[in-house]
Amino acid sequence: MYGLVSRKFTKTLASLILVVFSLSFTASMYSQVTGATLSGTVTDATGAIISGAQVSIKNIATGISKDVTVDSSGFYTVPNLPAGVYEVRVTAAGFSTALQSNLTLAVGAQQLLNFPLKIGTTTETVQVTAAAPQIELTSSTLTGQVESKTVLDLPLNGRDWTSLATLHPGVNLIENQMDYASGSARGNRGFGAELTVSGQRTSNNNYRLDGVSVNDYANGGPGNVIGAALGVDAIQEFSVLTGGFSAEYGKATGGVVNAITKSGTNAFHGDVYEFIRNSALDSRDYFSRSGDTPVAQFRRNQFGAAAGGPIIKDKTFIFGDYEGMRQAKGITTTITVPSDTARGEPSNTLQTPTKQITEPQLHQFCALRSPILPSAR
């Protein structure tokens, strides 16, 4: 009996350790592609390295700080930083404190920031006014950023945030989805946006949300049956990697769309919204201009709410978002029907019986009232 309990306990413990290890491994992989990295050197006015200096980087929105110590070569690095605005403070014995404010780090960025310290006391603070380099000097990746303000301010048909990737060079939207009238075949290539990056196939891209690949079953972009990836108000920002990215991203020979969601901050923030489209406000299209043909019905309602804030100030935060879509859409289509001649009606254009339609499928649509119609082959 004791041996049976011991074996069960051992199996349970092993399973628990495996789960904890898996979660730890997942968190590490998550931060590799979504967290920013800040690195650089600390020197004195002559360019000599200063080892042992303390570097503190603080997120302005959340108040969370990370502290590192400069190594013996004068180098420091702070990895896995959430995208946002930061304040960096560097202190060392015998030198004035250096302060860099309003440093913006983007998703997955590798930012280089060097600090030359001046002789003085640590109570003296020197404000660094030089802007951080806009070019990533530590990486050869070709990338572009789409910030939260851009995501929210630019008009989006269907509020599909992935369509903003086309703002960057080398990214184009391929309109090869089947029409809704094709029925279930429309989903053969997936429902999301189909982007070609640097001339690659649309299925060669990788879409990541908070470090997790969200490609659909056809290895295309994420999207619902209408073809839109919802959740604009939950996206903080995203980057588009078009070439030269490292192996940590993987699963793509085309491009990588790397997005992160918002988080709560020390300030409460949120919004409630609804966007509508209705055919009652539309003009007639070309095929509905004559006769009594009604305008095809079209009603779309997109609504939702997003809110976030602190649970424990400077420590724990919460954010949530909901977006719903309701759509009813009629489709105006054109069809080919048999001509008057094919239906047996008299026509002045008929020249000779040998030029009549001879396809056997025609008999499915016509009453065989004309002696000139041939029999089925």
Fill in the amino acid letter for 331: I
Give the per-residue pLDDT at 309. Answer: 93
Residue 6 has pLDDT above 50, yes or no: yes
Q: Is the dihedral of CA 12, 13, 18, 21 positive or negative?
A: positive
- Please say whether the beta carbons of 115 and 44 come within 8 A: no
228 contacts: CB under 8 Å, gap ≥ 6: 158, 159, 160, 325
Q: What is the pLDDT of residues 37-66, one digit of tens each?
A: 899 999 998 889 998 999 999 999 888 899
- What's the DSSP call for residue 118? P
Residue 255 has pLDDT above 70, yes or no: yes
As a whole number of angstroms, the distance between CA 215 and CA 101 comes to 37
As a whole number of angstroms, the distance between CA 103 and CA 278 comes to 44
Q: What is the pLDDT of residues 99-110, one digit of tens each?
A: 998 888 888 888
Could you tell me if residue 198 is left (phi over 0), alpha (psi between -120 and 50 degrees) or otherwise beta? left
- Please say whether the beta carbons of 106 and 237 come within 8 A: yes
Give the per-residue pLDDT at 150. Answer: 82
Select the more confidently predicted residue: 186 or 308.
Answer: 308
Looking at residues 259-283, what average pLDDT do you find?
Answer: 88
Phi, psi dihedrals of residue 149, rounded to the nearest 5°: -65, -40
CA distances from 227 to 52, 155, 185, 324, 358 (A): 54, 16, 14, 14, 41
As a whole number of angstroms, the distance between CA 257 and CA 120 comes to 46
Where does the pLDDT of residue 198 fall: very low under 50, low under 70, confident under 90, or very high at 90 and above?
Answer: confident
Fill in the amino acid letter for 362: L
**Average per-residue pLDDT for the chain:** 77
Looking at residues 71-96, what average pLDDT do you find?
Answer: 91
As a whole number of angstroms, the distance between CA 240 and CA 167 comes to 10
Token pair for 360 = 């056997």
Select the more confidently predicted residue: 58 or 135.
Answer: 58
Query: Of 41-45, 211-215, 243-247, which one has max mean pLDDT?
Result: 41-45
Give the per-residue pLDDT at 136. Answer: 62
- Please say whether the beta carbons of 221 and 193 come within 8 A: yes
Residue 149 has pLDDT above 70, yes or no: yes
The number of helix segments (H) and strand segments (E) in the chain equals 2, 19
Looking at residues 232-261, what average pLDDT do you find?
Answer: 85
- CB neighbours of residue 241 within 10 Å: 25
Percentage of the chain beyond pLDDT 70 is: 73
Looking at residues 232-258, what average pLDDT do you find?
Answer: 84
Select the more confidently predicted residue: 243 or 318.
Answer: 318
Phi, psi dihedrals of residue 25, rounded to the nearest 5°: -65, -40
162 contacts: CB under 8 Å, gap ≥ 6: 192, 193, 195, 207, 221, 222, 223, 229, 257
As a whole number of angstroms, the distance between CA 194 and CA 241 comes to 16
As a whole number of angstroms, the distance between CA 271 and CA 233 comes to 9
Residue 5 has pLDDT above 60, yes or no: no
- CB neighbours of residue 184 within 10 Å: 7
Three-state SS at 166: helix
Strand partners of residue 73: none
- Please say whether the beta carbons of 214 and 222 come within 8 A: yes
Q: Which of 69, 114, 75 is nearest to 92 (CA)?
A: 69
As a whole number of angstroms, the distance between CA 227 and CA 247 comes to 30
- Please say whether the beta carbons of 243 and 142 come within 8 A: yes
Give the per-residue pLDDT at 28. Answer: 38
As a whole number of angstroms, the distance between CA 90 and CA 71 comes to 13
245 contacts: CB under 8 Å, gap ≥ 6: 141, 142, 143, 252, 256
Where does the pLDDT of residue 31 fall: very low under 50, low under 70, confident under 90, or very high at 90 and above?
Answer: very low
Provide long-range contacts, Cβ within 8 A and 24+ apart, for 278-281: 279/330
